[in-house]
């Protein structure tokens, strides 16, 4: 009881320093090639759009160097968390959200065509994929230093996108499992990858794409278990005229049915574009997209063991040490101080 009263007192004290901050689910997209040129995005452009409106893209920066970023993902545990796997130099790079990039290290071993990138849920391991003749090669590397931990050769798939299932995902996905798009040439297959055995589980072809998927794909999970996918491709609109675009969907992991949300910046052409989800606002414990007073009692209940919802417990690990305890209190306060 004494502990409960002290936590309640702390809650009252903390209430006065809360600063409201709102955030929805944003999608970041990067233009890998700039093939179509103006008026479309340039190579290396980084765009952001709300998950419910892909037509509304804001260009937030450019990687500056003319690199071919074959896959992007947010890394847990860094403020500037957007990273990319660069195809021509086989390197892991940290991207500034407003532009520029910093080399982490070369990852070697990959003969690139299309490439992909995802991180482990704790942000410690980077998985970078490239494709050679008849096989995919996945490099497992230390996310902080780029040091190569293991190289996996998986025969059969041509991986165009990868995403790690989040901690609180529901069946059929398993937390930490790597999901991917296999571009077969006749359609896009949804697969999972077992790096312990270097094998693939083919779930089946994605349906509902609605046009000819021709180039790269993008794939990522949100924390709430929504799976998003983007396909670049072509549609014949009459005679010799074709429309090239990148379309954004939600994807049912159980049925593999894609539901179109919209075309990414419909007036311009994003070519061979990778996507990643940004839906983490540090301090937003209740997951309503806003950091405010309503998060405080939820955080206290998590610490007391009265709140056991997986996502709320996960979001309460503010200091990112893979556990929720008293060490998160100061980190929680820090996120709320203006």
Same domain, 140 and 99: yes
Same domain, 249 and 297: no
Same domain, 68 and 206: yes
Q: Give the residue numbers spanning the domain of 128.
A: 25-278
Boundary (domain end) residue, out of 233, 249, 278: 278
Higher-pLDDT residue of 170 and 97 is: 170
Same domain, 130 and 96: yes
Which of 16-20, 274-278, 292-296 has the least mean pLDDT?
Answer: 16-20
Is residue 244 a contact partner of residue 233, using CB atoms and an 8 Å limit?
yes
Same domain, 234 and 162: yes
Give the number of domains in the chain.
2
Q: Is the pLDDT of residue 6 over 60?
A: no
**In the prediction, which pLDDT does 150 show?**
93
Q: What is the mean pLDDT of residues 286-302?
A: 85
Q: Is the pLDDT of residue 290 over 80?
A: no
**In the prediction, which pLDDT does 18 show?**
45
The mean pLDDT of the chain is: 82
Q: Which of 6-20, 207-221, 252-266 has the highest mean pLDDT?
A: 252-266
């Amino acid at each position: 009881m004494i502990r409960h009263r002290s936590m309640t007192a702390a809650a009252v004290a903390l209430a006065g320093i809360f600063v409201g901050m709102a955030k929805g689910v944003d999608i970041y997209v990067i233009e890998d090639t700039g093939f179509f040129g103006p008026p479309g995005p340039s190579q290396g452009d980084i765009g952001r759009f709300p998950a419910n409106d892909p037509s509304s893209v804001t260009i937030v920066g450019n990687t500056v160097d003319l690199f071919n970023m074959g896959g992007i993902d947010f890394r847990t545990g860094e403020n500037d968390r957007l990273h990319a796997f660069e195809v021509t130099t086989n390197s892991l790079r940290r991207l500034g959200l407003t532009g520029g990039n910093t080399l982490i290290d070369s990852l070697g071993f990959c003969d690139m065509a299309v490439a992909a990138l995802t991180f482990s849920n704790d942000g410690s391991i980077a998985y970078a994929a490239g494709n050679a003749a008849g096989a995919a090669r996945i490099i497992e590397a230390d996310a902080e230093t780029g040091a190569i931990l293991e190289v996996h050769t998986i025969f059969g798939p041509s991986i165009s996108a990868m995403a790690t299932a989040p901690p609180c995902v529901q069946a059929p996905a398993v937390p930490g499992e790597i999901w991917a798009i296999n571009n077969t040439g006749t359609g896009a297959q949804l697969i999972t990858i077992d790096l312990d055995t270097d094998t693939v589980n083919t779930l089946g072809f994605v349906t509902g794409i609605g046009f000819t998927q021709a180039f790269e794909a993008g794939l990522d999970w949100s924390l709430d278990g929504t799976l998003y996918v983007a396909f670049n491709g072509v549609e014949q609109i009459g005679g010799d005229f074709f429309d090239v675009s990148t379309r954004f969907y939600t994807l049912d992991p159980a049925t593999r049915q894609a539901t179109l949300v919209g075309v990414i910046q419909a007036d311009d052409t994003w070519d061979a574009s990778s996507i990643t989800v940004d839906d983490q606002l540090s301090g937003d414990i209740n997951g309503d997209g806003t950091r405010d007073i309503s998060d405080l009692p939820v955080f206290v209940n998590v610490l007391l063991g009265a709140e056991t919802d997986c996502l709320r417990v996960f979001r309460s690990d503010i200091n990112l040490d893979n556990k929720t305890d008293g060490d998160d209190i100061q980190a929680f306060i820090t996120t709320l101080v203006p």
